[in-house]
Chains A and B, each alone.
Chain A
Amino acid sequence: MSLPTLTLRGFVTVLMLVALALVPQLVELTGNAFLIDLATRCVILAIAAVSLNLILGYGRMISFGHAAYLGIGAYAVGIPVYYEIYNGYLHILVAMAVSAVFALATGLVCLRTRGVNFIMITMAFAQMVFFTFVSMEEYGGDDGLVIEVRSEFSRFINLEDATVLYYVCFASLLVVLYLVKRIVNSRFGMVIRGTRGNELRMQSLGFDTFRYKLICYVIAGTICGFAGALLGNFTNFISPEMMDWTRSGELIFMVVLGGAGSLFGPVLGVSVFLLLEEFLSGLWLYWQLVFGIFLILVVLFANGGIDSWLSGRSRRSHDS
C-alpha cells in the first residue's frame, strides 16, 4: 500500500468515523439525547448493511431476506431474557449460531437457483421466519416482546448506559469493517469477486463456486445476526415487524445508495438514509411519497451510489 494521499473518498471516510466516535461528546455539548439514539441505530444498521454488502456488493447475490437475521439476532436476546437468562455472551453466541445455521440451511436451497428465483426465494424464507415468530404466541406473536433487561457482560460493560451501548456498537462496526476488508482482499474474497464477474469461468478454472458462495452467504448472515443482537438490546422491544421484507428492501437500498461493492459505502448509505428519513418524516406526513420517488430516481440516474460519486467514477461497468 502506498502512503495515503487523502482522496475525497478517504477524507469523507475519516470524517465520518471521527464524527461517529464523537457523538456522545456532541450529545453532552448540545444536550440533545435523541442524537445518540439516532447514532446507535445508524451504527447497528451499518453493521447489517456492511454484512449485506459482502454478498450483494462483492458477490452479486441479491438477497432480499437479510432483515431476517436482524430478527433472529434480536429474538436470540429477547427469548433468553424472557426466561431470565441475561448472559450477554450467550446471547451473542446464540444469535450468531442460529443465524449461521439458518443461512446454511436456506443457502443450500437458494444458491441452487439464480436470477429472479434467488431474489424471490431469499425473500420467501425471510417471510417464513417472520410468520413463524408471528405465530409464536408465547413470545408475544404479532405484538412483539419487551426486553426488560439488556444483555449483561461484565461490570465494566453496562449496556443500560446509552453511551456504553453506543461505543460497544461503534467498536463492533469498526471490527466488522476490518473483518470484511480482510475477507474481500483474501484468496477467498478473490474467488467471490471473480464469481460475481464470471461464474462460468471460475468453474472452468476449477472453483466449486457453489461452496464459496455458500460460505460467503453464511458469513454475511452470521454478522447480521450479531447486529440483530445489538438491535434487540438497543430497542428494548422486538417484534416480527423488524424482519418484514420491506426492512430487507430498505437494507438493500442503504447498500446501493452508499455504493455496493465498496467497503465503506454501506455506512454512508445507512447514514444518509436515516438522516433523510428523520428529516422528511418531520416535514410532511406523507414523506414516504417523496422517499419512494427519491429511491426510483437514485436507481434510474445515480449509478454506483455515493461511493462512486466520491471517488469520481461510475461503477456501472460490472453490471452485465
Chain B
Amino acid sequence: MTAKALLSIVNLHKSFGGVAATKQVSLDIVKGEIHAIIGPNGAGKTTLVSQLAGVLLPDSGRILFQGNDITRMPAHRRPHLGIARSFQITSIILDMTVLENVLLAVQAKAGHSYRFWANSGDDASLVEPAMASLEQVGLQNQAMQMAGPLSHGEHRQLEMAMVLATNPVLILLDEPTAGMGQEDSTRMVRTLQALKGSRTIILVEHDMNTVFTLADRITVLVEGQVIATADPDAIRSNPRVRQAYLGEELDSIPSEPHAEDSMTKSPPAC
C-alpha cells in the first residue's frame, strides 16, 4: 500500500496543552482518489489538514509526500511540491479582481516572482492558464470584477479556481460547500466531480450527501483517532462508525449515487 501512496501519514501526533487533537494517526492517500475525512465537531479534522499544509507542526510522527519527508517543511514551500490548500473560511484577496486573484496563483506555480518591470496583466503565460482555471469553475464572465462584492458561492468557486491554477498534485479541501445554498453547492460538487481521477483530493466535509457522492474512500476521525478507513459502502455499514458518529444521519443518505451523477463511482486502482 505504502508503495502506491501519494501521501503517507505515519503515527502523527499533535496535542494542545495536554489535550491530544491528533492521536497517532496513520493514513495512506492513494494517487487519484478523493479521500474524505469525516468526524464529529472537534474530531481534529482541521488540525490534521493544517499539519498536512504545514501551518501546524506535529509533535511527533511523519508526513511523506511522494516518498519525501515533508513533516517539518515550512508552509510556503509545500505548494511548490504540488500541495494546494483551500481554506474553511473563504480566503481570497478581496481588493483585487477575480482574474488578479487567479493570476497570483498561476504566478505562484511559475516559480519566483522577482520580476519588477513587465506588466503581469499583459503576460499571456499568466493570463491564459488563469482564464482556463476560471472557466473550469464557471467564473470566466466575472474575471474583471472586484472579488470583494461577489457572492459567497462565487467566492468559493474563485477559491477553487486559485487552487486549480497552481496545477496541484494534491488538493486539501476544507469544507468546500460550507455555508453554501443548494444551487452553489451542487455547482461545487459538479466542479469537483469533473476533477475525479486527474487530481488527488483530501476532502474535509460535514455534508454527508457531498461526501458520499464524491469520495472514493472515507476516513472517520473521532477524538483525534482514526476509527475506520474504507470505501463508502463499508463505512456505511461499519458498526463502530455508526455507533460513534453517523447513526441516524447515515440512514438519510441514499445508498446509490444521485441519478444526475453521470460519473460512475469506480474505486481507484489500489
Contact = CB atoms under 8 A, between A and B. Distances in A.
Q: Is B truly associated with A?
A: yes
Interface of A: 182-183, 185-191, 193-194, 196-198, 200-209, 212, 215, 317-318
Interface in B69-100: 75-80, 84-85, 87, 91-96, 100
Given A202-B104, A206-B166, A186 B96 contact: no
B121 interface: yes
Interface of B: 53, 55, 75-80, 84-85, 87, 91-96, 100-101, 103-105, 107-109, 113-121, 123, 126, 146, 148, 162, 166
B105 A205 contact: yes
A206 B78 contact: yes
Contacts of B75: 203-204
Contacts of A209: 76
Contacts, number: 102
Contact of A191 (B80, B104, B118, B148): B104
Given A204-B53, A205-B166, A187 B105 contact: no
16 contacts: A186-B119, A186-B120, A187-B113, A187-B126, A188-B113, A190-B107, A190-B120, A194-B101, A198-B94, A202-B104, A204-B87, A205-B162, A207-B113, A212-B113, A317-B94, A317-B146
Given A186-B116, A186-B118, 18 more contacts: A182-B116, A183-B117, A187-B114, A187-B126, A188-B113, A188-B114, A188-B115, A193-B95, A197-B93, A197-B94, A198-B93, A201-B92, A205-B162, A206-B76, A206-B79, A206-B166, A207-B113, A208-B76
A185 B103 CA distance: 12
A185 B76 contact: no
B93 A194 contact: yes
A186 B121 CA distance: 8
Contacts of B113: 187-188, 190-191, 207, 212
A197 B79 contact: no
Given A185-B121, A201-B92, A190 B100 contact: yes
Q: Which 6 A-B pairs have the closest CB atoms?
A: A206-B79, A318-B95, A197-B93, A205-B108, A187-B113, A187-B115
Given A190-B104, A204-B87, A197 B96 contact: yes
Contacts of A205: 79, 104-105, 108, 162, 166
Contacts of A190: 100, 103-104, 107, 113, 120
A187 B115 CA distance: 6
A190 B103 CA distance: 9
A209 B93 CA distance: 14
Contacts of B162: 205
Nearest to B126: A187
A203 B74 CA distance: 10
Contacts of B91: 198, 200-201, 204
Nearest to A197: B93
Contacts of A183: 116-117
A209 B104 CA distance: 13
Contacts of B85: 204
Contact of A206 (B77, B94, B115, B123): B77
A317 B118 contact: no
Contacts of B76: 203-204, 206-209
B103 to A, nearest CB: 7
B120 A198 contact: no
A317 B116 contact: no
Given A200-B91, A203-B76, A204-B75, A317 B148 contact: yes
A222 to B, nearest CB: 13
Contact of A185 (B80, B107, B119): B119
B161 to A, nearest CB: 12
A4 to B, nearest CB: 17
Which of A190, A198, A212 has the most chain B CB atoms inside 10 A of its CB? A190
A206 B120 contact: no
B77 A185 contact: no
Nearest to B166: A205
A205 B84 CA distance: 7
Which of A187, A212, A317 has the most chain B CB atoms inside 10 A of its CB? A187
A198 B92 contact: yes
A81 to B, nearest CB: 33
A191 B103 CA distance: 10
Contacts of A200: 91
Contacts of B53: 204
Contact of B107 (A191, A204, A318): A191
A116 B145 CA distance: 33
A188 B55 CA distance: 24
A189 B103 CA distance: 12
Contacts of B148: 317-318
